[in-house]
Structure 1
Amino acid sequence: MSDEKNGPSDKRSSKEALMANLREANRNRRPRPAPPAHAAKAETSRRPVKPFDFSTLPEYRELRMQRAAADMMGIGNPFFRSHEGLAAATTMIGNRTFLNFASYNYLGLNGHERVNAAAKAAIDRYGTSVSASRLVAGERPIHREFEEKIAELHGVEDAIAMVSGHATNVSTIGTLLGPRDLIMYDALIHNSIAEGARLSGASRVSFPHNDWRFVSQTLDKVRHQYEKVLIVIEGLYSMDGDFPDLTRFIEVKASHDAWLMVDEAHSIGVLGKTGRGIAEHAGIDPKLVEIWMGTLSKTLSGCGGYIAGTSALVDFLKVKAPGFVYSVGLPPALAAAAITSIDLMLEEPWRVAKLHENGQFFVEEAKNAGLDVGLSEGYAVCPIIVGGSAQAAVLAHRIYERGLNALPIIYPAVPEKAARLRFFITSLHTREEISDAVRITAEELEIVRSAGSVLQQLSAR
């Protein structure tokens, strides 16, 4: 007998009920979380992870091509040469002594026994670093001592010191100016000024070198469009060795309700009877300039930068400038070295006088030798303009072979037809050393120019 309860129709109904229950369970089940992205990637690809190859950058390939061209012309790399001791009027490179015209040690104070002693004493007292931002844990008495010394040197109310000259300009300009403002700067201004202006978001105008008339005429037309206007110039231009007409720029900024900023990186210790800079040189009240900027790495035997001006300006920057607020305080040894360098400069005026004498002598000797010194006024910085970049590089190599160290400045740092060797004169150079440097340069330049067509062919490859 067959069992009716287990017939075909009952089996179908049981199966349908089971499927219905499974469908209901699936509807009520929570969705399963997706695997992490990195896990999914690992499942789909087992290829090894490789860092980006920066040698594939077009800019790097161009650099390699330039180096290959230099190798083809037999030119060694003039940059990053390792000096084995103090670089002053002479220097030791590769166990060989060179006449050295590639140092910013304008007054010969870097390495002075009093400067070294002050730095060592600061290390003994404070250590090599203050380890933090001055705002939170890095303030030391020597910081204020240095800033008061700088303010006194410039003849203004106060100053603020930062750990980088480049960052001082970038941070200060970026803090004070914004999208509703205008920044006008000299066409030959330092990169730090141009970068600060770019990052500020303000409108920017690069004006022809030292052309205060252009600045005035431009502001006549556009001043009303902006809230704040900043004009930036240098006290002494590091590529050309000339300086602006400070009196005229002060008149322009005053008549257009603008601010004036003067970068004195290369003019402190160089311009003025006592080395106080372009205001002393021009006989101008320094309080007529809103912002003075300078660095420690030239005359002041250290590293870092500063802003000098009113107490209000300094108070504002100390709580708003990122390069100060978020950066470690100046190492005590550098502050001590700079303080002592200022003291020595003022105590020994012969250093500034000797620097002026040496600079003028270099320019006179160079002109007598038929060399092109461009715009140089004979204050510490003197270019010898060669022409093409290839010629400048070859000339630098040839004088180096003869024991003279002066570096080439080539395109794009300067226009291609204005490539040059740049000579920095110090108070420690002797007249004989200056005469030898000029003579060697003139002799080698004549040889280089006689082979000019060959150089052009090689550099074009």
Structure 2
Amino acid sequence: MYEDYQNQLNILSEKGNLRSLKEIEPLGGPWVQYQGKRMLNLSSNDYLGIAHDPQHLRNFYAQITEDALFDQFGLSATSSRLLTGNHPAYGEFERLLCHYYQKTGALLFNSGYHANVGILPALLGKKDLILSDKLNHASIIDGARLCDADLIRYRHLNYEHLRSFLKKYRHKYEQVVIITETIFSMDGDIADLRELCKIKEEYDCMLYIDEAHAIGTRGEQGLGICEEQQVINKVDIISCPMGKGMASMGCFTVMNEVLKDYLINKMRPLIFTTALPPINVSWSVYVFRDFVKRTKKRGHLNSVSEHVQKTMVLNHLNAPSQSNIIPLIIGENEATVQLAENLQQNGFLVFPIRPPAVAQGSARLRISLTADMQIQDLEPFLELLKNNP
């Protein structure tokens, strides 16, 4: 048995696809230490620079009092939310979310993956259909596969292709859910939610939106692409994993109260999972209250991202993007690995992204920009890319 596993690992290694865990030490701000070298971290999802800002931690921990020690700052929930794990911090956060999103229901989950593999199977059955953007995250695909519903994947951002499936199949199904990310994690491009809302209404579908890479960074208050494109009130489920721009853990979703009550009764990963610790939920409340006010920080991140995008275009690099996630597409695995190693040797932490995470022949560097970076930090990096053969 172990021989067979080792042989499979050897094959992955020969193809340049073997993965390993890396020890990376944060140094504050966008800087880390990796393999004994100080580097600018261009692989982080800490988009607003909150996770490694010591002032945020000081502000948060300054709230700890003896009276609030267990309700707000306990280190374990010890139970599921349906038993004794539903601490007051949960209710505070969910009410806050309903206020900002103007929805009647909100729910917290343990992760974005946890939400996506639980919501779809709870809502859909054998007479239903899921229409998913082809480049949606693995958690969405896995959630769809756990369903009894049928799954069709439409071409990436191709809404005429989506319409063609609805014209052909909508009448055969009771419930149809269209699901998409807003900012796509490996491409940095953005879904047209206004068009999806039109399609949803035209064909009487449910629209499920995953804002994993937009929460905190986009929209006037940082509520994501749904806010930016002014469609919050038209989207049925908005899911926001909190491990990226919010520098926390877990995932919040907003929806109407009927869907919330249904999920509480039907969603197995919610019913049978120990709840998040109160301290984590309290931290998420703190971060959310803070980032909705950080318009200047979002503006800075967008300015830095635009500068890097324009410079790459001028340098004839294949790096299309509409966000702070910029894919530098190389193509071949070996060349991508070599470029990543060269950049690391020069003080820039970038990792190669290879199949199966992306399509064959589209290996790339996923450059992730954060709000605590300055343009001058990035100029040497851009110069290295310009001069890369």
State the partner residue of 2:250: 304
State the partner residue of 1:104: 45
Match of 1:397 among 338, 341, 357: 341
Q: More helix by proportion, 1 or 2?
A: 1
The answer as to 2:32 corresponding to 1:91 is yes
TM-score (norm 1): 0.79
Mapped contact 1:369–1:439 kept (Cα < 8 A): no
* Aligned ranges 1:93-172 → 2 under 5 Å: 93-112=34-53, 113-115=55-57, 117-118=59-60, 121=64, 124-125=69-70, 126-172=73-119
State the partner residue of 1:459: none
Cα pair distance change 1:337/1:272, threshold 3 Å: same
State the partner residue of 1:406: 350
The answer as to 2:142 corresponding to 1:195 is yes
* Aligned ranges 1:18-33 → 2 under 5 Å: none
Cα pair distance change 1:343/1:86, threshold 3 Å: farther
- Structure with greater Cα Rg: 1
Mapped contact 1:269–1:275 kept (Cα < 8 A): yes
> What displacement does 1:195 show?
0.6
Amino acid at match of 2:234: L
Report the Cα distance in structure 1 between the residues aligned to 2:37 and 2:271, rounded to whole angstroms. Answer: 44
Mapped contact 2:48–2:297 kept (Cα < 8 A): yes
Cα pair distance change 1:239/1:69, threshold 3 Å: closer
State the partner residue of 1:380: 324
State the partner residue of 1:293: 239
Unaligned 5+ runs, structure 1: 1-52, 447-461
Report the Cα distance in structure 2 between the residues aligned to 1:388 and 1:239, rounded to whole angstroms. Answer: 16
The answer as to 2:297 corresponding to 1:351 is yes
Report the Cα distance in structure 2 between the residues aligned to 1:303 and 1:293, rounded to whole angstroms. Answer: 13
State the partner residue of 1:29: none
> What displacement does 1:430 show?
0.6
Amino acid at match of 2:201: A
> What displacement does 1:179 show?
1.4
Report the Cα distance in structure 2 between the residues aligned to 1:198 and 1:425, rounded to whole angstroms. Answer: 33
State the partner residue of 1:257: 204
Q: Secondary structure at the match of 2:306?
A: helix
Larger RCO, structure (CA 8 Å, separation 6 or more)? 2
Cα pair distance change 1:287/1:90, threshold 3 Å: same
State the partner residue of 2:372: 428
Report the Cα distance in structure 2 between the residues aligned to 1:151 and 1:434, rounded to whole angstroms. Answer: 38
Amino acid at match of 1:297: G
State the partner residue of 1:33: none
Report the Cα distance in structure 2 between the residues aligned to 1:87 and 1:196, rounded to whole angstroms. Answer: 36
> What displacement does 1:66 show?
3.1
Aligned length: 383
> Which stretch has the larger CA shift, 337-346 or 152-161?
152-161
Report the Cα distance in structure 2 between the residues aligned to 1:192 and 1:68, rounded to whole angstroms. Answer: 27
Mapped contact 2:48–2:245 kept (Cα < 8 A): yes
Unaligned 5+ runs, structure 2: none
Q: Secondary structure at the match of 2:83?
A: helix
Cα pair distance change 1:318/1:225, threshold 3 Å: same
Amino acid at match of 1:361: H
Mapped contact 2:327–2:365 kept (Cα < 8 A): yes
Cα pair distance change 1:124/1:441, threshold 3 Å: farther
Amino acid at match of 1:394: Q
Identity score, percent: 26
TM-score (norm 2): 0.93
Match of 1:82 among 15, 20, 23: 23
Cα pair distance change 1:437/1:398, threshold 3 Å: same
> What displacement does 1:87 show?
6.3
> What displacement does 1:136 show?
0.6
Q: Which runs of 4+ in 1 moved over 4 A?
A: none
Mapped contact 1:115–1:340 kept (Cα < 8 A): no
State the partner residue of 1:371: 317
User: RMSD value over aligned CA atoms?
Assistant: 2.0
Q: Secondary structure at the match of 2:146?
A: helix
Q: Secondary structure at the match of 1:231?
A: strand
Q: Secondary structure at the match of 2:228?
A: helix
Mapped contact 1:250–1:288 kept (Cα < 8 A): yes
Report the Cα distance in structure 2 between the residues aligned to 1:268 and 1:206, rounded to whole angstroms. Answer: 24
Report the Cα distance in structure 2 between the residues aligned to 1:150 and 1:437, rounded to whole angstroms. Answer: 39
Match of 2:275 among 326, 329, 333: 329
State the partner residue of 1:269: 216
